[in-house]
Amino acid sequence: MPSSSNSKVSNCIHVDTVGDVSWEQLKQKQGVEECDSCDAHPPHLWLCLYKDCHYVGCGEKVADHSLHHYKERNHSLTINLMTLRIWCNSCECEVFPDHNNPPF
């Protein structure tokens, strides 16, 4: 999982649902050209971090398939493939991997 140099703290309890994602897998997914459900393109793509899911959905500036995926499957955590920002839909907050309680 990527490191964050940000000193902010997050308290997302959903980090226990995250599968193993390597830098290589993230870099490979960054090459994805469109949402799995529509033709939305970067920078509006979010990767589901739920164990072995890896769905790529568009964000709120397009059709928000990432949020629809969360509502249908309850897969809380996603990472923006352009900015590597991690968001928890359940907690409605940004998650900081190096500074989350409980730890990633």
Dump pLDDT digits (tens) for 47-104: 999 999 989 999 999 999 999 999 999 999 999 999 999 999 999 999 998 999 998 8
Domain assignment present for 7: no
Q: pLDDT digit string (tens) for 10-54?
A: 999 999 999 887 778 888 888 889 999 999 998 899 999 999 998
For the residues of 53-89, what is the DSSP string, one character each?
Answer: T--EEE-TTTT-HHHHHHHHH---EEEETTT--EEET
pLDDT at residue 12, as a whole number: 97
Structure tokens at 74: 């309850």
Find the domain containing 36 and state its range.
17-97
Domains held by the chain: number: 1
pTM for this entry: 0.87
Within a domain: residue 55?
yes
Does any domain span residue 9?
Answer: no
Residue 68 belongs to a domain with what CATH number? 3.30.40.10
Give the model's pLDDT for residue 2.
52
